[in-house]
Amino acid sequence: MQEMAFIPGGTFRMGSDRHYPEEAPAHRVAVDDFWIDRDPVTNAGFERFVRASGYVTLAERTLDPAQYPKVARQLLEPASLVFSPPRQPVETADWRRWWQLVPGASWRRPYGPGSSCRGLELHPVVHIAFQDASAYARWAGKDLPTEAEWELAARGGLEGAEYAWGDTFTPGGRHMANTWQGRFPHENTALDGFERTSPVRSFPSNGYGVYDMIGNVWEWTSDFYAPRHPVPATKACCVPRNPRNSNPADSFDAELPANDIPRRVIKGGSHLCAPDCCRRYRPAARQAQAIDSPTSHIGFRCVARDVAPARRD
Contact 57, 127 (CB under 8 A): yes
User: What is the domain-level CATH number for residue 231?
Assistant: 3.90.1580.10
- Give the integer Cα–Cα distance in Å for 30 and 148: 8
Question: How much of the chain is helix, strand and coil, in % rounded to 5?
Answer: 20, 20, 65
pLDDT tens column, 56-79: 999 999 988 888 887 888 888 999
Distance CA 152, CA 207 (A): 11
pLDDT of residue 313: 46
Give the pLDDT mean for 204-213: 98
- Number of compact structural domains in the chain: 1
Structural domain including 90 reads 1-313
The answer, yes or no, to whether residue 232 has pLDDT greater than 70, is yes
What pLDDT does 34 receive?
98
Q: Report helix, strand or coil for 236.
A: helix
Which is more confident, 32 or 71?
Answer: 32
- Is the separation of the CB atoms in 218 and 268 below 8 Å? yes
**pLDDT exceeds cutoff 80 at 2:** no
Q: For the whole model, what pTM was predicted?
A: 0.95
> How many residues are given for the chain?
313
SS3 at position 82: strand
